[in-house]
Structure 1
Amino acid sequence: MTKTRNPEVTRKKLLDALQRLVEQKPERLSGKYKVNVKSVQEEAGLSLGSAYRYPDVMDAIEEQKLAIAKRDIRKRSVKSDLERLREEKAKEKALKEKYRLELEEANKKLDRLYAEQTMQLTAMMSLLDVEDRIKLLQDSKPKVIRIK
């Protein structure tokens, strides 16, 4: 018993299989697959090499492969941009935290220095006689000049 070939039926099977693969709704294939000539033939239930007899089907498969590749590149590009921005944000956040800690440390040192200076001035003032203190305080007053 020989099979009769109908080129239009075969072409339709191949194009339908291609469409199912592109839409990611295969009927025969399972798991991961790529859209290529072999997977289209397997999805169509045809023998390997049958798609090569139909140049228009081969062109359609190539077009879909290119479209999928472009889409994947855009996704990767957007993903890589997003990852890059997230990394930059994390670096900026870490840098901000580092500078915040440095500022806190500098403020603590400044507070200690102010306290030491105040204690030294108080100790020095206590060593002076009362008349010397009054004279020192009068001399340290800022001189205000009136502008006419």
Structure 2
Amino acid sequence: MSKSNLTRVKIEEALERILQGHPKIVPSSQKLSVKAVEEEAGLGSGSVYYYPELVSRIKEHTLKTQKKSQNNSLYEEKISSLQKKLKNEKRLKEKYRFEVIELKSQLSSMASQHNQLALIIQQYQFKINELEHLDKVHRIENKDR
């Protein structure tokens, strides 16, 4: 194998190790870049640029990762927004639950007062009828005298 082919193989192996998350030299937390692949392959700075198809593969993977990262970021923002809405809805639900309890209590109290007032009205109507009847009786008695 020629030196050029050996270098290409080293670069390809280094790229695969990084993509699989099992690099030997660079930290696995390091982002994929031409420099990271060169370090992982044990090559000097700029060595990868002699292989434009490998550089384009590296950049392709980098762009895919960035797009995924952007999509994840958008999803995280949406999730965060929805979580805030959910929290607010739960707060409102609890507030309205207490309002319903209070209003039911008021309704019960008002119904009780209504019944008491209806009973009092009925009693007064009965007394009015008695007094009217007595008044008629007194008029009749007074006419007879």
> In which range does the TM-score fall when normalised by the shorter chain?
0.7 to 0.9
1:51 paired to 2:48: yes
Higher helix share: 2
Q: Can you list the C-alpha shifts for 1:44-89, whole angstroms capped at 9, x where unaligned?
A: 1111121122211111111110111122223333333333333333
CA distance in 1, matches of 2:16, 2:71: 21
Structure 1 residues not aligned, in runs of 5+: 134-148
Please state how far the C-alpha of 1:130 moved relative to its aligned partner: 5.2
The gaps in structure 2 that reach 5 residues or longer are 131-145
Where does residue 142 of structure 2 map in the other structure? none
Instruction: Report the number of matched residues.
Output: 130
**Equivalent residue, structure 2, for 1:40:** 37
> In the alignment, what sits opposite 1:64?
61
Which residue in 1 is equivalent to 2:93? 96
1:80 corresponds to which residue? 77
RMSD: 2.4
The amino acid of 1:70's aligned partner reads K
- Runs of 4+ in structure 1 over 6 Å off: none
2:5 counterpart letter in structure 1? E
TM-score (norm 1): 0.73
How far did 1:8 drift? 1.1
Per-residue deviation, 1:35 = 0.3
Residue-by-residue CA offset, 1:20-65 (whole Å, 9 max, x unaligned): 1111111112252000111111111111121122211111111110
Structure whose CA Rg is larger: 2
